[in-house]
Amino acid sequence: EEEEADISDIGDGKGIVRVDTQSDNMNSLNSQDLATNVAELCQQGRGEAALELVRTDLRNVSQPQCTDIMVAFAEAGRSDCAQAALLHMQTLCVETGAELDANTFNALMLAYARDAATATDDGLDQAFGVLELMLRAQIDPDITTYNRLMEACSAAADAVDPFSKGLLVLDAMKEGKRVLADVETFNTMLEACGKRGWSTSTGDGLRVGAQVLETMAKEGVAPTVDTFNILMYGCAWAAGAGDGWLGVEQGLGFLRQMADTEIMPDVISFNNLIAACAQAAGAADGPLARDQAFKLLRIMQEVKLEPDQGTCDTLIATCAKTAAAGDKLGVTYGVKVLDLVHEWNLSPDPSMYNALLARCLHVAQTSGPGYPSGWNGVRWMANLLALMAAFDVDATEAIRTIYDTMSSLCAQRSLELAGAAATAHTSEDLPHLSGHVADSMCFATASAVLDDSGGADDEQEELLGGG
């Protein structure tokens, strides 16, 4: 149904003022009340009612009142109402001799950037038309004007070529009173180019992103860590969209560029690169991606960056995916990651955690007691069980099921090894079994695995010792 623009009663008991449109002596709202009520109506989805309130009650042009009204329409994504409100304000300017400022027009530009209905080629033409409106009103566009116009280009990325439109914005900045682009201008342009996709088969955003970097250099604008973080996010996206290891290599190339320009990467930079490794880990390059992820972790630690939840989740995802693709060391590294996550006092992401645990259980059920090499079978399972207990085995039903199944398997293996050692009658058998007996003893004292790093509590010790 078409919204009825009747504002005879817009009160809801929450501060909205009742307006009697039939009264000849209707009291004007002060500027703060008017802007507040317009914003409230927009939040309620009543843009037409808010516009009618402006037409009825806005008697003079003042700042920041007009800007606040326009921002309210912009945040509601109603560029049509914002355009109509501006027309009313311009009429008042003619009648009263007042003037609007750049902030009001910037808010209109923001409305075009936020309105899904104008995320088209025609809608973007209307956004560029705001520049003409400002020139007619003898108002100079500023950097905010152009950055919001770049946002509008980003919003319309599905309908237009964002790179070519971005170049038009840069050209417009050089006309009339020259405005210098800043890093936000180009970061927005980068994000716009990525909206069509970052991989070679979808959007080719990384190639276009490299062109944006070249344009920045020509314009004398230095990239920041945020610039490269956008590109590294694109590398992870591309790696998961068919580029695989190529996405990781491109990310490492950006990391080298940061080093060359003395831009210090942050945790987000490394998390994005490790995410690229995780995306590439499910293919033939899984072991390569897994090794690279741990190299990146070591670099993080060398430059004194604290791993966070994103680091934790992307490392677990890398190990889970490479293990699922057949990497025999995937589960070994996965348990090492869980050790680190416990040390960092973090909690693993449930989805990737479940995936990793499922692979660990599969390996435990299908491999001999000596696998993985260096973890001595039972001891490896015991360590994982202790970690699972530390992370809460009842977090999900799936985790509890895996925990119970692995506990039974670990106990069974321990008894089998102990029984084999007890029934050995020849000296030739004893050296062969001695390592497995040690495994059985390790299981009985498995809580020591976490005790060494301040881990398992008494309940975990009793649970694992009782196995």
pLDDT greater at residue 69 or residue 17 = 69
- pLDDT at residue 418, rounded to an integer: 77
**For residue 415, is pLDDT > 90?**
no
Q: 46-58, pLDDT tens digit by residue?
A: 999 999 999 999 9
Query: What are 123's strand-pairing partners?
Result: none
Is the per-residue pLDDT at 295 higher than 80?
yes
User: Tell me, what's the pLDDT at 417?
Assistant: 75
Range of lowest pLDDT (97-101, 193-197, 438-442): 438-442
Between 60 and 452, the more confident residue is: 60
252 is written with which tokens? 């490492």
Q: 């040390």: which residue's tokens?
A: 343
Over range 325-331, report the average pLDDT.
Answer: 89
Least Cα distance to 38 among 69, 10, 4 occurs for 69
Q: What pLDDT is stored for residue 431 in this prediction?
A: 47
pLDDT level of residue 13 (50, 70, 90 thresholds):
very low
At 145 the pLDDT is 97
Mean pLDDT lowest among 17-31, 225-239, 345-359: 17-31
Average pLDDT over residues 145-156: 96
Residue 314, token pair as written in the block = 């992307």
Q: Check whether 74 has a pLDDT greater than 80.
A: yes
**Cα separation values, 200 from 209, 216, 288, Å:** 12, 22, 21
Which of the four pLDDT bands, split at 50, 70 and 90, describes residue 413? confident
The arithmetic mean of pLDDT across residues 305-327, rounded, is 94
Q: What is the pTM of this model?
A: 0.80
More confidently predicted of 37 and 452: 37
Q: Is the dihedral of CA 181, 182, 188, 189 positive or negative?
A: positive
d(CA 240, CA 131): 40
Write down the pLDDT at residue 424: 61
Cβ distance 174 to 217 under 8 Å? no
| pLDDT greater than 90 at residue 423 | no
